[in-house]
Structure 1
């Protein structure tokens, strides 16, 4: 196979919290501990290295991609459990415990001979380095591991459940950085939910070809149409796009529509409308 050919693979990014503040010997201990924990976890799911695992050193972390035939359910299940238990054992009695952020996403990637390339790699790294992931570790010193997956990986793999998989303990949160504007799912093993920061306001996006207010009143008009909050009607879903069509508001996340259509009013010359329209996919 041409090694620059794009192949769909699961991408894993691991980062050590606060490594920039560590002294030289502390950095070595942290890296040694991280590699020992990760390699043991990969062996537990039958990944021995070589052709089964692409591994890139990132200084204070690693970028990994198992072979395409490795089921993602093994990574979000047993592999994550092994990392969690290995981290607990490693940190027992340490004054400065090793704390990790781990992100996963799947998609087409290529190997250009120097490393993996592709949007799947970019997004995985963005999720791992995201403010919500960092915020979880900052919120609670008792948390040594935060795990984040992309929206598509959550719905296609995590939500299906399985051994050591806890979909009910994941929580969605928007991730916005550079060119990234995504919904990701965050998890802390053995916690019912992660201590996520409150999501920021969602900006209104003006659709093409639809009359909307101009200037600084645009954001206020979007908020007014949704009860003054700018948030999705009837639910906690983070939003990516707002569509305002003649007073009807829908919230679109990727290719899905969540929530009701609201704001449709009966006009004197409209014999067919009856109150607020409701809809969804």
Structure 2
């Protein structure tokens, strides 16, 4: 993870907490969400491929979710609505089904509706391969967006998984750099550490599975 972050140009510290065979990562809020959504995921994919090629006996596949919000950082675990949603997304049966169906893929990504609106719908990253879905779990029912990198469509979805696409709300073209500074200001959530609360960090939940 750290190697992928450095390769993506993320130099600020990453805080983390373990989830058994997975982890939750907290990125500094000064790191734009689009950088995490694109370059970090790309570098992570490259790293997984390199690892799986050189050490096939310990090959890994990754379910990845992305959401942003404030969390309460305790000595052993984090808490808060943002953590709960990120974990619900990464543990969802829908994402498990997608990764299982994408047999040659190393990563499947599920991002929250808020994350999609802030990054994809706002035009800061391409929408290639994303499908809007309904995540329905015993304690969570929400809409989100799923993608398998380098695939035009995520596999393994049932007809009932799809949610109606939202009406386009783009205000600028993807990768429009004319207003890059102001665009980043929309995505920056100033991070401050006050006591045991982490304010405005970007939360990323993930889960490792064996190939």
Structures share a fold, TM > 0.5? yes
Q: Deviations over 1:129-164 (max 9, x none)?
A: 1111100122132121101100111121123344xx
Structure 2: state its 5+ residue gaps: 168-211
Structure 1: state its 5+ residue gaps: 1-37, 202-234, 239-252, 257-281
Q: Deviations over 1:36-71 (max 9, x none)?
A: xx111111234456xx22111222011111112211
Structure 2: how far apart are the matches of 1:61 and 1:175?
20
Aligned residue number for residue 181 of structure 1: 141
Structure 2: how far apart are the matches of 1:46 and 1:143?
24
Aligned residue number for residue 118 of structure 1: 80
Structure 1: how far apart are the matches of 2:37 and 2:139?
26
How far the C-alpha of 1:107 sits from its partner, in A, is 1.6
Q: Deviations over 1:81-110 (max 9, x none)?
A: 101111111112626631110000012222
User: Which one has the largest radius of gyration?
Assistant: 1
Q: Deviations over 1:11-57 (max 9, x none)?
A: xxxxxxxxxxxxxxxxxxxxxxxxxxx111111234456xx221112
Asked if 1:155 corresponds to 2:117, the answer is yes
Aligned residue number for residue 166 of structure 1: 126
Q: Deviations over 1:225-281 (max 9, x none)?
A: xxxxxxxxxx9518xxxxxxxxxxxxxx9xx9xxxxxxxxxxxxxxxxxxxxxxxxx
Asked if 1:134 corresponds to 2:96, the answer is yes
Contact kept? 1:97, 1:144, Cα under 8 Å: no
Aligned residue number for residue 197 of structure 1: 157
Count of aligned residue pairs for this structure pair: 166
Aligned residue number for residue 85 of structure 1: 46
Distance 1:161 1:91, change over 3 A: farther
TM-score in terms of structure 2 length: 0.70
1:104 aligned to 66, 74, 83, which one?
66
Stretches (4+) displaced over 4 A: none
Corresponding residue SS for 1:159 = coil
Asked if 1:44 corresponds to 2:4, the answer is no
Structure 2: how far apart are the matches of 1:103 and 1:175?
12
User: Over aligned residue pairs, what C-alpha RMSD do you find?
Assistant: 2.4
1:60 aligned to 6, 21, 24, which one?
21
Asked if 1:71 corresponds to 2:58, the answer is no
Structure 2: how far apart are the matches of 1:160 and 1:177?
28
Distance 1:55 1:48, change over 3 A: farther
Structure 1: how far apart are the matches of 2:139 and 2:20?
24
Distance 1:236 1:200, change over 3 A: closer
TM-score in terms of structure 1 length: 0.54
Distance 1:96 1:136, change over 3 A: farther
